[in-house]
Amino acid sequence: MLACWRARPFLSNGHSNFRRGFCCRAEDQTVSLTERQNKKKVVIVGSGWAGLGAAHHLCKQGFDVTVLEGGYELGSKTKSLSPDDAGIRGFWYPYRNIFNLVDELDLLPFTNWTKSAQYSEEGLEFLRLPFVDRVTSLPLMAAVIDFDNTDTAWRKYDPITAREMLKQFGCSERLYRNILDPLLQVGLFAPAEQCSAAATLGMLYYYVLANQKNFDLAWCRGTVRETIFRPWMELLKTEGCRFLEGRKVTDVMVNEETGSISEVICEKESFKGDALIFAVGISTLQEIIQSSAALCGREEFLKILKLNSIDLLTVKLWLDRKVNIPYASNVSSGFDNSCAWTFFDLNAIYDEHKDSTSTIVQADFYYANDLLPLKDEKIVEKVMSWLSMCVKDFENATVIDKEIGRFPKLLTHFFPGSYKYMMRGSTSFPNLYMAGDWIVNRHGSWSQEKSYVTGLEAANRVVDYLEEGNFAKIIAVQEDEPHIQSLRSLNRNLYDIRAQLPFSKYFLQ
Ligand SMILES: Cc1cc2nc3c(=O)[nH]c(=O)nc-3n(C[C@H](O)[C@H](O)[C@H](O)COP(=O)(O)OP(=O)(O)OC[C@H]3O[C@@H](n4cnc5c(N)ncnc54)[C@H](O)[C@@H]3O)c2cc1C
């Protein structure tokens, strides 16, 4: 039976998207050549949340910042595209650093807070249930309490799959199939049997359990690149930041005397820097490592080659008539498609499609290895059939235009056992730092917020290394509620006692 799980779209709960902060103006900001020559140089590779976050703080501290952007090729290879142009992005309440930034930039990029619908063959409401019901059983809650985002917690839970963990902690088959598996597929982009239990606990805690009262989210009223990054980059340019597009980084040069990275190579060009930040995804970094003798010589970079990333397919369809889509954002699972996917009513989300006479819908498929090789026509046929299973009215519509984006290896795969290969923010090169949604850090946030935070953390490392400027303020994830804090501290005490018992290290943990 087809069931729609959630109610009431676009409910505003008083947290309006009207944000005001200081406004930077463009006049008199041109940076002269001499001024630039006197500044310490920082080269940032990648202009997503992580790269721009780092550039933002370092420009404010007076560094000469150059951002190199490689971009991706879209389908026909005629258009270079950044990942932030693809897919629709949601913003949750705990994204406090991003909301703070958007205030500072004086932007209004978001819709009101919305709820999402979830479609499946059986259907079950989960996210509105109280805390204990949501974790289905007290034993699973024990895992959530036990996972405190420390290195120890990651090493303990990372080797097992999310499915194994849910099984061990007594999750019912129905709850797994209808709720937790689809949730992981759209949150971690892979089925539960392919996800690390540590990543699952970290993500569940951050999005669901620590924010029990509000699981609503806001959407960007256009692509993230257009609505947030473009104006942000314009502001950074006025502060002297250089953005160089079409620069695919291929290698680095090492100063043999100091052991530091002295230059970044983009095919035939090179860029000198006193410090360097890599703010790119796993697959990009893997490509760079494979072509770089300097990086291949370091253990921490060789380990990156063991990591995996996930394929994404985005399908944007223009229909010949208005289809009544009850909710702007939707998660779908089951039916004849084995993986969960999302679809969005762009007329309701994007400003540019608000007044369109046709329905414009976008469906995003993660873990889409089996869909990427299909011809466009076949993809459209499948997507329309799946859409019709969720909202019957799609059956009456005809596709009049389409835009299909194939992005192999775009998304981070937190597969079981991957934690030990992930990089930290600092590297064995004294002036090379890492940022991005897959970097190990202790902030506790995920996805866009995590990328932005790791960008600020990388900027702080540069400030520390170059001994100039102030540290960026990073807003911590909201503190645990008192009952969770007590349970966590009790659990830590028990852990310490257990660790002192004889043979405690003898058995496989
Ligand atoms: C379809 C989709 C939906 C998502 N939905 C959400 C959501 O709802 N909410 C959420 O919070 N997160 C979501 N995410 C995840 C979120 O978008 C990412 O976590 C975040 O954007 C990662 O930012 P980043 O800066 O770390 O990396 P990226 O955004 O990947 O930035 C890396 C940059 O490096 C550039 N680059 C690539 N190769 C090179 C090279 N060789 N040289 C120089 N530059 C290069 C790229 O073009 C890009 O600009 C989604 C992701 C996708 C793909």
Nearest CA, atom 3, ligand 1:
87
pLDDT at 77: 42
Residue 416 to residue 201: CA distance in whole angstroms:
13
Residue 53 CA, closest ligand 1 atom number: 25
pLDDT at 21: 31
**Could you tell me which residue, 332 or 23, shows the higher pLDDT?**
332
CA of 264 to the centre of ligand 1 (A): 21
**Does the pLDDT at position 359 exceed 50?**
yes
pLDDT at 15: 34
CA of 271 to the centre of ligand 1 (A): 23
Q: Which CATH architecture has domain 308-413?
A: Alpha-Beta Complex (3.90)
**Does the pLDDT at position 7 exceed 50?**
no
Residue 26 to residue 316: CA distance in whole angstroms:
36
Using 50, 70 and 90 to split pLDDT, how confident is the model at 139? low
Query: What's the pTM value of the predicted model, to 2 decimals?
Result: 0.89
Nearest CA, atom 29, ligand 1:
48
Mean pLDDT of the chain: 85
Question: Domain ranges in the chain?
Answer: 33-111+222-307+418-466, 308-413
Using 50, 70 and 90 to split pLDDT, how confident is the model at 22? very low
CA of 451 to the centre of ligand 1 (A): 8
Using 50, 70 and 90 to split pLDDT, how confident is the model at 37? confident
CA of 84 to the centre of ligand 1 (A): 6
pLDDT at 109: 96
The yes-or-no answer to whether 33-111+222-307+418-466 and 308-413 have a common fold is no
Q: How many CB atoms lie within 10 A of CB 287?
A: 16
Q: Which CATH architecture has domain 33-111+222-307+418-466?
A: 3-Layer(bba) Sandwich (3.50)
* Pocket residue to mutate for ligand 1, from 43, 44, 49, most atoms within 8 A of Cβ: 49
**Could you tell me which residue, 144 or 27, shows the higher pLDDT?**
144
Using 50, 70 and 90 to split pLDDT, how confident is the model at 503? low
SS3 203: helix
Question: Model confidence over 56-113: pLDDT tens digits?
Answer: 999 999 999 999 998 754 444 444 556 666 778 999 989 999 999 999 999 999 999 9
CA of 47 to the centre of ligand 1 (A): 9
SS3 220: strand
The two structure tokens encoding residue 322? 């208005």
Pocket of ligand 1 (CB under 6 A): 45-51, 68-72, 82-84, 86-87, 89-90, 247-249, 279-281, 284, 312, 364, 410-411, 436-437, 447-448, 451
Question: Model confidence over 285-295: pLDDT tens digits?
Answer: 999 999 999 99
Nearest CA, atom 50, ligand 1:
89
* Pocket residue to mutate for ligand 1, from 102, 230, 437, most atoms within 8 A of Cβ: 437
**Does the pLDDT at position 31 exceed 60?**
no
Residue 86 CA, closest ligand 1 atom number: 1
Question: Model confidence over 196-224: pLDDT tens digits?
Answer: 999 999 998 888 766 656 678 899 999 99
Q: How many CB atoms lie within 10 A of CB 30?
A: 10
Contact (CB, 8 A) for 291 and 250:
yes
Residue 163 to residue 181: CA distance in whole angstroms:
8
**Does the pLDDT at position 138 exceed 70?**
no
Q: How many CB atoms lie within 10 A of CB 485?
A: 12
pLDDT at 509: 60
Using 50, 70 and 90 to split pLDDT, how confident is the model at 443? very high
Residue 95 CA, closest ligand 1 atom number: 11
Residue 449 CA, closest ligand 1 atom number: 11
**Could you tell me which residue, 460 or 479, shows the higher pLDDT?**
460
